[in-house]
Amino acid sequence: MKKSFIYLITLALSILSCSETPPPKPIEPLPAARQLAWQEMGYYAFIHFNMNTFTDMEWGTGGESPAQFNPTELDTRQWARVAKDAGMKGIIITAKHHDGFCLWPTKTTEHSVKNSPWKDGKGDLIKDLSEACEEYGLKFGIYLSPWDRNNANYGQPEYVNIFHEQLRELLSNYGPIFEVWFDGANGGSGYYGGANETRKIDNKTYYEWDKTTEIVRELQPDAVIFSDAGPDIRWVGTEEGFANETNWSIMRRDEIYPGWPRYKELRSGHEDGTHWLPAEVNTSIRPGWYYHPREDHQVKTLSRLVRTFYESVGRNGNFLLNLPVDDRGLVHENDVAQLMALRNQLDKDFAHELAKNIEVSASNTRGNSDRFAPEMVNDGNPDTYWSTDDGVVSASITFNFDTPTEVNRIVLQEYIPLGQRVKQFNVSAEVEGQWQKLDEQTTIGYKRILRFDVVNATKIKVDIVDAKGPLTISNIELYHAPKLVTLPQISRDKEGMVDLSVADKSVEVFYTVDGSTPTPDAIKFERPFLIDAPTTVKAIAFDGETNTMSESSSQYFDVAKKNWKVISVSSGNIEEAGKLIDDNLDTYWATDEGVNRPQEIVIDLGAEYTLKGFTYAPIQTRYPFGIIMDYEFSASTNGKNWNTVSQGEFGNIVNNRIGQTINFSPVRARYIKLKGVRVDGEDFRTSFGEVGIISE
Ligand code: FUL
């Protein structure tokens, strides 16, 4: 196997500078220089912005017209500024997605910006973004979809030449490229120059991967190539945003190919891997990769983003977070707010490094040499490392604090130019003279971050239990991250029990039920409580240690729904209809498909109330359907004589899928009926996220 350039340098330097104790032998496979440089990127942006942004699609068919690409306020410098402010190190842009539209004026097809109204066809988005990245000190990467649903030649050898030519254009004209992203997806069907048919290709051979790799190596030798199978970096086998805790940067690469059915193994790598193939964790800040106004309220929460960071960068992966730039051509303000909240939280988590230069000792030091001493892990130099004697694969390293110190994070790094080694390790703390185990884990790799409950420790010890060879630990850091103070989520079950939850269980929650804004003097939340009458619950999260208070969340509840029953539906399975009155927005119920008249449901409230209004929450799934746009609401005291008390429109509900409240003049009722007079969809199939009442 070819030894990496970095290893040769290391070896050369070590031979010159140190005659007594040689460094441990590398454990192959080893990373190439370009893979090492990529690993230091850590966190960077994916941007999905292309034809789909204007057609509200995720996978365009290829039959779109360039005239549809028409951003009104496109500002690539805003994208770069946002990424920079968010703490990201680069941007990868969808230069061409599966629909084949090219964001640069390519010579290979007419299906590009040059035939769009944007900048009168004179624009080059790849150029603009590459310049913006340079201005903001960000690295620049390219996503180029091999699958092309527009190209008439797709499936023939001619298209492969076109694909390679597109790659050449992108890699020749826009400065240094750090990553080339090849998507493995291929659904077969497409427009294909008007043929509108399904075309199957062999993903392993059709694109001539060897030649594709050669083009990248020739034009951008420092760029890493991403695909399901590398060759340089791998997909992590999920788009949910995590790597497994055990995560080897090596894999038996020759077994893998795009569409590999054992893709879940990509989450952990292979302990007996033959090639260096580290994982990139890609996920979107919204449910979709492209911008859809209906997802404006579904930007990932701070706690979810924090978790994703710890489960990617903290699990030996890089974090590629997608920003679906909107149809104005800007990163949407909701996304910007969350990106900045994440940045702010991470800055706080890693504000004060506690292990730097403190006293550290180890159970074994390679050749008792200063060069491999335990102090190499907290000297702030990533090129030095603590190492053990040949044959010693289990050893401990201990940090001694002068005074008891609160700790809840540890960062560990192996010196990967010599290969990934650690297979099993534990972390313990000495608290008031007693040792307690904080965590038991498997791999470390380039970077591992563990979170644990705060300990007031006099010592912190890392026991490496098993490794593939002598240890090479380059860095260990300790931190005391503040509590994560996020907006409490207020929910109620069908019985009427209200729960207030926050991501960090050690944060206190205070609430009110009288409409006033809570403070830390309000009622402290200890356990779920009953709300069975019209009430607005407001809650805050509070960390007394740092005096940090969240904003206040607020939720209106009416009578509990425990005695409610859906007693009639115009079509669909009534047995399941309880899902529309279960006080749970994650569930929904829908009428049958293919119906040609408005659909309705009838609910028995179990008792008579004076109603002042009703509520309708639309379905929250990724691909919504049947949302009521025009409604008719009726009330009855006996379930026979109906009184239509309100009819009208839920304005903009499809794009902004938030709960709707409609008020009307008070009526007495035990039975309510909701009809979908006009719904979003081809037929009258009607969906219900949740239905509720406003009573007196
Ligand atoms: C997938 C694609 O099909 C999606 O549209 C998106 O680009 C995602 C990053 O990769 O395979």
Please report, for the domain that includes residue 451, its CATH number. 2.60.120.260
Residue 402 reports pLDDT greater than 70: yes
Sign of the torsion formed by the C-alpha atoms of 57, 168, 81 and 125: negative
Segment 251-264, tens digit of pLDDT: 999 999 888 889 99
Q: Is residue 75 part of a domain?
A: yes
Q: Is residue 316 part of a domain?
A: yes
Residue of the CA atom closest to atom 8 of ligand 1 = 289
What's the 349 CA to ligand 1 centre distance in angstroms?
Answer: 31
> Relative to the CA of 290, which ligand 1 atom is closest?
5
> Relative to the CA of 289, which ligand 1 atom is closest?
6
> Relative to the CA of 97, which ligand 1 atom is closest?
7
Using 50, 70 and 90 to split pLDDT, how confident is the model at 658?
Answer: confident
The per-residue pLDDT for 674 is: 98
List residues bridging with 455 in a β-sheet: 407
Segment 137-187, tens digit of pLDDT: 999 999 999 999 999 999 999 999 999 999 999 999 999 999 999 998 888
The per-residue pLDDT for 382 is: 96
What is the residue-averaged pLDDT of the chain?
A: 95
Residue 1 reports pLDDT greater than 50: no
The per-residue pLDDT for 549 is: 94
What's the 391 CA to ligand 1 centre distance in angstroms?
Answer: 45
Residues with CB under 6 A from ligand 1: 58, 183, 185, 282, 289
Do 118 and 249 have their domain in common? yes
CA dihedral 689, 690, 691, 695 (to 10 degrees): -150
Domain boundary among 513, 538, 557: 557
Phi-psi region of 194 (alpha: psi -120 to 50; beta: other; left: phi over 0): left
Do 256 and 225 have their domain in common? yes
Do 640 and 535 have their domain in common? no
Do 536 and 580 have their domain in common? no
Residue 523 reports pLDDT greater than 50: yes
Do 507 and 604 have their domain in common? no
Residue of the CA atom closest to atom 11 of ligand 1 = 185
Do 312 and 411 have their domain in common? no
Residue of the CA atom closest to atom 9 of ligand 1 = 289
What is the C-alpha to C-alpha distance for residues 291 and 83, in angstroms, rounded to an integer? 17
What's the 183 CA to ligand 1 centre distance in angstroms?
Answer: 6
Three-state SS for 568-622 is EECCCCHHHHHHHHCCCCCCCEECCCCCCCCEEEEEEEEEEEEEEEEEEECCCCC
Pocket probe mutation, ligand 1, options 98, 142, 181, 183, max atoms within 8 Å of Cβ: 183
The per-residue pLDDT for 280 is: 98
Using 50, 70 and 90 to split pLDDT, how confident is the model at 11?
Answer: low
Q: Specify the CATH number for the domain of residue 94.
A: 3.20.20.80
From 27-36, 239-248, 530-539, 654-663, the region with the lowest mean pLDDT: 654-663
Contact assessment for residue 507 and residue 454, using Cβ atoms and an 8 Å cutoff:
no
What's the 248 CA to ligand 1 centre distance in angstroms?
Answer: 24
Do 364 and 506 have their domain in common? no
- What is the number of structural domains in the chain? 4
What's the 622 CA to ligand 1 centre distance in angstroms?
Answer: 15
> Relative to the CA of 48, which ligand 1 atom is closest?
7
Residue of the CA atom closest to atom 2 of ligand 1 = 185
> Relative to the CA of 143, which ligand 1 atom is closest?
7
Residue 81 has φ and ψ, to the nearest 5°, of: -65, -45
> Relative to the CA of 145, which ligand 1 atom is closest?
7
What's the 95 CA to ligand 1 centre distance in angstroms?
Answer: 13
The per-residue pLDDT for 623 is: 86
Nearest residue to 370 via CA among 17, 16, 10, 25 = 17
Q: Is residue 246 part of a domain?
A: yes
DSSP-assigned letter for residue 358: -
Domain boundary among 557, 578, 594: 557
Burial class (CB in 10 A: 0-12, 13-18, 19+), 115: middle
In a 3-state reduction of DSSP, which class is residue 323?
strand
- Buried b / exposed e over 348-359, threshold 16 CB at 10 Å, is bbeeeebbeebe
Amino acid in the structure at residue 496: G
Domain boundary among 479, 500, 527: 479
What's the 88 CA to ligand 1 centre distance in angstroms?
Answer: 21
The per-residue pLDDT for 2 is: 45
Do 283 and 327 have their domain in common? yes
Average pLDDT over every residue of 225-238? 93
Do 120 and 242 have their domain in common? yes
Q: Is residue 12 part of a domain?
A: no
Residue of the CA atom closest to atom 4 of ligand 1 = 289
What is the C-alpha to C-alpha distance for residues 319 and 246, in angstroms, rounded to an integer? 16
The per-residue pLDDT for 12 is: 53
> Relative to the CA of 184, which ligand 1 atom is closest?
11
Average pLDDT over every residue of 440-469? 98
The per-residue pLDDT for 652 is: 86
Do 522 and 551 have their domain in common? yes
Amino acid in the structure at residue 507: V
What's the 661 CA to ligand 1 centre distance in angstroms?
Answer: 36
Contact assessment for residue 681 and residue 626, using Cβ atoms and an 8 Å cutoff:
yes
Q: Specify the CATH number for the domain of residue 550.
A: 2.60.40.10
**How far is Cα of residue 300 from the mean position of the Cα atoms in its chain?**
8
Q: How many CB atoms lie within 10 A of CB 580?
A: 26
Q: Is residue 533 part of a domain?
A: yes
> Relative to the CA of 46, which ligand 1 atom is closest?
9
Question: Strands, DSSP E only, in 433-512?
Answer: 434-441, 448-467, 472-479, 489-492, 497-501, 508-512
Segment 497-514, tens digit of pLDDT: 999 999 898 899 999 999
What's the 668 CA to ligand 1 centre distance in angstroms?
Answer: 52
Q: Is residue 93 part of a domain?
A: yes
DSSP-assigned letter for residue 315: B
**In which domain, by residue range, is 173 found?**
33-349
Question: Strands, DSSP E only, in 324-394?
Answer: 359-362, 386-387
What's the 185 CA to ligand 1 centre distance in angstroms?
Answer: 7
> Relative to the CA of 322, which ligand 1 atom is closest?
9
Residue of the CA atom closest to atom 3 of ligand 1 = 185
Q: Is residue 23 part of a domain?
A: no
Sign of the torsion formed by the C-alpha atoms of 548, 553, 557 and 560: negative
What is the C-alpha to C-alpha distance for residues 278 and 11, in angstroms, rounded to an integer? 23
Pocket probe mutation, ligand 1, options 55, 239, 319, max atoms within 8 Å of Cβ: 239
What is the C-alpha to C-alpha distance for residues 401 and 284, in angstroms, rounded to an integer? 41
The per-residue pLDDT for 312 is: 98
Residue 60 reports pLDDT greater than 80: yes
Do 373 and 335 have their domain in common? no
Pocket probe mutation, ligand 1, options 289, 290, 320, max atoms within 8 Å of Cβ: 289
What's the 687 CA to ligand 1 centre distance in angstroms?
Answer: 28
What global pTM score does this model have?
0.89
> Relative to the CA of 94, which ligand 1 atom is closest?
7
> Relative to the CA of 185, which ligand 1 atom is closest?
11
The per-residue pLDDT for 617 is: 96
What is the C-alpha to C-alpha distance for residues 352 and 680, in angstroms, rounded to an integer? 52
Contact assessment for residue 79 and residue 62, using Cβ atoms and an 8 Å cutoff:
no
The per-residue pLDDT for 4 is: 56
Q: Is residue 597 part of a domain?
A: yes
Residue of the CA atom closest to atom 10 of ligand 1 = 183
H helix or E strand, kind and range, residue 26: none
Extract the tokens encoding 101: 């539209």
Using 50, 70 and 90 to split pLDDT, how confident is the model at 9?
Answer: low
Do 66 and 147 have their domain in common? yes
